[in-house]
């Protein structure tokens, strides 16, 4: 192997892929719901509710991205 060749990562296991889909999908749904709640809050003249929901949407969106990219720390609330 030469110095310029990229090293390859091992392929993710099937269980890891399923876990990413379940946890990342859940948090993606939470992100969309918070985004809709923020828009509704703004449309009803409640800026505090709108900004709060949009902050939640951004944070959960970033967390879903972390999960889909292989993050190990996973939380699921029911």
For residue range 33-56, what is the model confidence (pLDDT) as tens digits? 999 999 999 999 999 999 999 999
Q: What is the mean pLDDT of the chain?
A: 85
- Nearest residue to 38 (alpha-carbon basis) of 50, 56, 23: 50
Contact by Cβ (8 Å): 67, 20: yes
Cβ-Cβ contacts under 8 Å for 34 (sequence gap 6 or more):
53, 54, 56, 57, 60
SS3 22: helix
DSSP-derived letter for residue 76 is -
Total-model pTM: 0.74
pLDDT at 70 over 70: yes
Token pair belonging to 45: 């003249």
Task: Give the pLDDT confidence score for residue 30 in this predicted structure.
Answer: 93
Task: Give the pLDDT confidence score for residue 62 in this predicted structure.
Answer: 93
């Amino acid at each position: 192997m030469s110095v310029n060749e990229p090293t390859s990562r091992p392929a993710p296991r099937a269980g890891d892929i399923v876990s990413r889909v379940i946890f990342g999908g859940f948090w993606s749904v939470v992100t969309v719901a918070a985004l809709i709640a923020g828009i509704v809050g703004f449309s009803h003249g409640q800026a505090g509710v709108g900004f709060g929901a949009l902050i939640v949407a951004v944070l959960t969106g970033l967390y879903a991205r972390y999960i889909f990219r292989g993050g190990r720390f996973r939380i699921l609330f029911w």
